């Protein structure tokens, strides 16, 4: 069993972005990322701080816009519009979830597709569907990067994704399909779940339920990717997979923390670099 080191792969991706950013700066272009944070959700604050650190590391300019939870829809959309117009901002990211009363879909749709470095805009989602895209959602793309780094071939494999969110589950299925995997997406209405998951060569768990995937749900020699970020009964960070029970059955497994999480942020850096190149005619 090999534990997939997301921190290591993420560091390699960020180093590549840093080197490309150096080249861009020689041409007078410094990639700029704007991060909008509404309200004071502690988990969102941690994510935003990690994104700022990553920007510093690779040489991007990052600007944070922290708004109170009482911010109106109009105020938030006005800020997005202002950032759409700014030439020094190449990527716009609005940290989700938003406080109650704000329309997340309206905010996602307001971000210019060419600055949508989360790849949530309908236009970018449609382009991912047909395989002609500029940006990929950060978590699924980060998972593909990890599979490539460990020479795990998707072609012809039986791939099962648990979870059908727009952010992870659905695009994950699409990216595996683009690499010729045979994909099944499971969810809360799936019957005989363990029967399906136990036939997977590659199993991706993205349900947000602590230790949901148990040993009987995993095939011997499977590749197990854990997207979950949960807290167990002792408040310790853990994933959707019961790591201790499952690890000895796997050929490869991602830990939590230190697996998928770091990859999400390094992919955001890749997307922002790509956005800067596209907007300056350098891609």
Contact 89, 33 (CB under 8 A): yes
Are 91 and 174 contained in the same domain? no
pLDDT of residue 42 exceeding 90, the answer is: no
Which DSSP state fits 179? T
Are 255 and 144 contained in the same domain? yes
203 SS3 class: strand
116 tagged catalytic:
no
Are 69 and 175 contained in the same domain? no
- What pLDDT shows up at residue 171? 97
Residue 119 lies in a domain: no
Q: Which domain holds residue 43?
A: 27-113
- What pLDDT shows up at residue 233? 86
12 tagged catalytic:
no
Contact 251, 223 (CB under 8 A): yes
Residue 283 lies in a domain: no
Neighbours of 87 (CB within 10 A): 8
Report pLDDT digits (tens) over 174-216. Answer: 999 999 999 999 999 999 999 999 999 999 999 999 999 999 9
16 tagged catalytic:
no
Residue 199 lies in a domain: yes
Residue 40 lies in a domain: yes
Are 166 and 250 contained in the same domain? yes
Are 240 and 154 contained in the same domain? yes
How large a percentage of the chain has pLDDT more than 70?
100
pLDDT of residue 101 exceeding 90, the answer is: yes
CA dihedral 222, 228, 233, 234 (to 10 degrees): 100
Are 106 and 163 contained in the same domain? no
Tokens of 260: 């998928």
Residue 83 lies in a domain: yes
Report pLDDT digits (tens) over 165-174. Answer: 999 999 999 9
Tokens of 262: 């770091």
Are 242 and 150 contained in the same domain? yes
Are 103 and 213 contained in the same domain? no
Contact 62, 51 (CB under 8 A): yes
Tokens of 177: 């399909």
Are 54 and 145 contained in the same domain? no
Residue 14 lies in a domain: no
Report pLDDT digits (tens) over 205-232. Answer: 999 999 999 999 999 999 999 999 988 8
Beta strands in the chain (DSSP E): 2-3, 32-38, 61-67, 91-94, 158-162, 182-186, 202-205, 222-226, 230-231, 237-238, 250-253
* C-beta contacts of 22-30 below 8 A and 24+ residues apart: 22/59, 24/273, 24/276, 24/277, 24/280, 24/282, 25/59, 27/280, 27/282, 29/276, 29/280, 29/282, 30/59, 30/60, 30/61, 30/88, 30/276
CATH code for the domain in which residue 239 is found:
3.40.50.720
Are 245 and 176 contained in the same domain? yes
pLDDT of residue 162 exceeding 90, the answer is: yes
- What pLDDT shows up at residue 91? 98
Give me the catalytic one of 14, 115, 116, 118.
118
**Helix and strand totals (H; E) in the chain:** 10, 11
Tokens of 90: 């190449």
- What pLDDT shows up at residue 283? 80
Report pLDDT digits (tens) over 253-278. Answer: 999 999 999 999 999 999 999 999 99
Residue 127 lies in a domain: no
How many domains does one find in the chain?
2
CATH code for the domain in which residue 99 is found:
3.40.50.10860
- What pLDDT shows up at residue 43? 84
Are 237 and 158 contained in the same domain? yes
How far is the C-alpha of 18 from the C-alpha of 25, rounded, in Å? 10
Give me the catalytic one of 51, 115, 270, 277.
51
How large a percentage of the chain has pLDDT more than 90?
94
Contact 240, 230 (CB under 8 A): yes
- What pLDDT shows up at residue 196? 98
Residue 229 lies in a domain: yes
Tell the burial category of 62 from Cβ atoms under 10 Å away from its Cβ (0-12, 13-18, 19+): buried
pLDDT mean across residues, the chain: 96
Q: How much is the average pLDDT of 95-106?
A: 94
Report pTM: 0.95
Give me the catalytic one of 14, 95, 115, 249.
95
Contact 136, 171 (CB under 8 A): yes
Are 254 and 148 contained in the same domain? yes
Report pLDDT digits (tens) over 246-258. Answer: 999 999 999 999 9
């Amino acid at each position: 069993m090999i534990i997939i080191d997301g921190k290591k792969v993420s560091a390699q991706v960020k180093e590549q972005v840093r080197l490309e950013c150096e080249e861009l700066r020689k041409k007078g272009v410094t990639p700029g990322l704007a991060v909008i944070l509404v309200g004071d959700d502690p988990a969102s604050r941690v994510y935003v701080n990690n994104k700022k650190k990553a920007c510093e590391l690779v040489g991007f300019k990052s600007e944070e816009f922290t708004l109170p939870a009482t911010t109106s829809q109009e105020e938030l959309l006005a800020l997005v519009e202002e950032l759409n117009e700014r030439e020094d901002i190449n990527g716009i990211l609005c940290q989700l979830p938003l406080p109650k009363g704000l329309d997340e879909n309206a905010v996602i749709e307001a971000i210019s597709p060419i600055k949508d470095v989360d790849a949530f805009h309908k236009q970018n989602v449609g382009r991912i569907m047909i395989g002609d895209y500029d940006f990929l959602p950060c978590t699924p793309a980060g998972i593909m990067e990890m599979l490539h780094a460990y020479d795990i071939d998707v072609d012809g494999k039986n791939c099962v994704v648990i979870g059908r969110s727009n952010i992870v589950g659905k695009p994950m299925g699409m990216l595996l399909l683009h690499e010729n995997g045979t994909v099944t997406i499971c969810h809360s209405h799936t019957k005989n779940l363990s029967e399906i998951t136990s036939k997977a060569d590659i199993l991706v768990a993205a349900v947000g339920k602590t230790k949901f995937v148990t040993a009987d749900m995993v095939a011997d020699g499977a590749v197990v990717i854990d997207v979950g970020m949960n807290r167990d009964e002792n408040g310790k960070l853990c994933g959707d997979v019961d790591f201790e029970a499952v690890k000895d059955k796997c050929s490869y497994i991602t830990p939590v923390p230190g697996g998928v999480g770091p990859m999400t942020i390094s992919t955001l850096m890749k997307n922002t670099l790509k956005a800067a190149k596209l907007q300056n005619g350098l891609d």
